[in-house]
Structure 1
Amino acid sequence: MIRNEHGQPVGEDVAGWTTRPPAAPTLLEGRTVRLEALAERHADDLWTALVEESPDALWTYLPYGPFAERTAFDAHVARLEADSALAPLAVVVEGRAAGVSAYLREDRAHGCVEVGHVALGARLQRTTAATEATYLMMRHVLDERDGLGYRRFEWKCDALNAPSRHAAERFGFTFEGVFRQDKVVKGRSRDTAWFSVVDHEWPRLRAAYENWLAASNFDEGGAQRRSLRDLREATS
């Protein structure tokens, strides 16, 4: 335990720390997916993926949607794109936008940023591309070599959103607790579950992700040979 000159316990020194660059929308390319700045040109593909090809249940835990009319959906995409507090990204698979994700609550002084506004079309969910999209966003903010060198990457969701909580744990985020009655969303009380990955955990997670994403980890039918959870445990 580190103690100061008064004998009080204090945190570890963060040698050479400086304010981080902004987590601005940027092009992130992987083997199965590309993330690029959300723009009006993605609206057609997103309407198809998120509305026409997906159930209304997609929007239950988000603060907006579902969308019955195209004009309302286009206005929603435009609001995300124009919001200066967000860095929204289109999740593009085989040349078509199939989902949205965003950086938000960016705290450059302390090196913390959150992933949110995640809406993945039904055909994108539970795919290699969906996992790789999270990996690319995480690498971009946490990695010292290929990223911005942030200290903390957050994931928050409605505490009742079991699929989101399961995804966070599968992706290697650590559960930190629940903020009770944190928000009122669509007229309902929401408790918020908090998860995070911090910088010293990233090298191990990066190795697990890269081993999982390798083409050799999938058979001829596209089924994984080893799970991401198994690979994370193997590198712990």
Structure 2
Amino acid sequence: MHPSAMENGRLFFSTYFEASTPALMLDIGSQDVNGSLRQLAPPGARYVGLDFAAGRGVDVVLDDPYRLPFDDGVADVVVSSSCFEHVDMFWLTFNEVLRVLKPDGLFYLNAPSNGEFHRYPVDCWRFYPDAGEALVRWGTRSGYRPALLESFTTYQHLDIWNDFVAIFVKDADCAMHHADCMLDRIERYMNGRRYGVEGILNPQAATEDGARLHALTGHAKPQQ
């Protein structure tokens, strides 16, 4: 878990949950590698770590990454950090997340928007500013009614990674139950989206690495 991913997780919990929340929280990709979201969760929560392999921080080893061993509508929140890039068909996992969430339940996704090829055991995907809305469209097509509450891309912090962060609510009718946003608490971000607000906030076409390279070399960004 790199530093910005940890900070994003801390901000998510402090924004959306009270310290004493007796919530059922499921963590997909929970193995503790240089830290875990578990240590940031509200102390009153029931936290269950799920992963594809046994290890520190893993309570349940998944036999099938596209089937979570929980009944429909039982979880208050599902979190996943630095994992979806390693899931072959992450959109199927997204549907399972929606299935197990309560109607006003939240899904917190943190996945890289850049960075080196790192297999665990595979490395398939990076997530860009339209990814959250695309997942909403997929969930809707699959029979759910999700909404994207907010999304954004972070700047690098003590490492090479720019994180794509997205918060979803299972049922769009419950979107207004979650008025507070992480976007209100961070100073710098790229390509933000917010429920009920049209367009992209703080748009930036170039990646942070690309923008830095252009500044150093003086070469203009190539036209698409």
Range class of TM-score, shorter chain: 0.3 to 0.5
Greater Rg by CA: 1
**Is the strand fraction higher in 1 or 2?**
1
| TM-score normalized by the length of structure 2 | 0.34
| TM-score normalized by the length of structure 1 | 0.33
